[in-house]
Amino acid sequence: MLKSLTSTQARFIALLAKTARAERDKVLGNVEEADLGGTEPARGAHNPTAELGYDPLQPNAEQLNDLRAAIGALTPAARAELYTLMRIGQGDLAAEEWQRGISEAELLGDATLTAALMEDADLHDHLEKGLFESKAG
């Protein structure tokens, strides 16, 4: 399935995302989900802070800059594959729908695609799961 993106590149970006997420969580004070209150959804994301993305970090934070640079260094085709891996990891696409994910990524355009990747606070988990599900890793 992967043609323009290597699993090593995807794992490196996942690692950068994990580092950015750790820094973001540190800024938020590592609040336990139970302490945030509210009802827990039966399905879907159970992390209420995920909607914040990386907003708690300063826009010029080193972790975000590194993640942005690594994503930006990819070719448009590799970014489309990274986006497709993310969507598979989110459970929005099945691994068998790989080509559909690539088509959606191409329709979104590069700027929107990059923004979608950068706004996913769980990017590390989604990429790792996408690699596993697609057996690309």
Whole-model pTM: value is: 0.79
In tens digits, the chain (137 residues) has pLDDT values of: 899 999 999 999 999 999 888 877 776 665 555 544 555 555 555 454 455 455 445 667 788 889 989 999 999 999 999 999 999 999 999 999 999 999 999 999 999 999 899 889 889 999 999 999 998 65
* Matching residue, tokens 């990429």: 127
Q: DSSP assignment of 60-111, as one string?
A: T-HHHHHHHHHHHTS-HHHHHHHHHHHHHHHTSS-GGGHHHHHHHHHHH-HH
Q: Residue 1 has what pLDDT?
A: 82
Q: How far is CA 62 from the centre of its chain?
A: 17
- How many C-beta atoms surround the C-beta of residue 99 within 10 A? 10
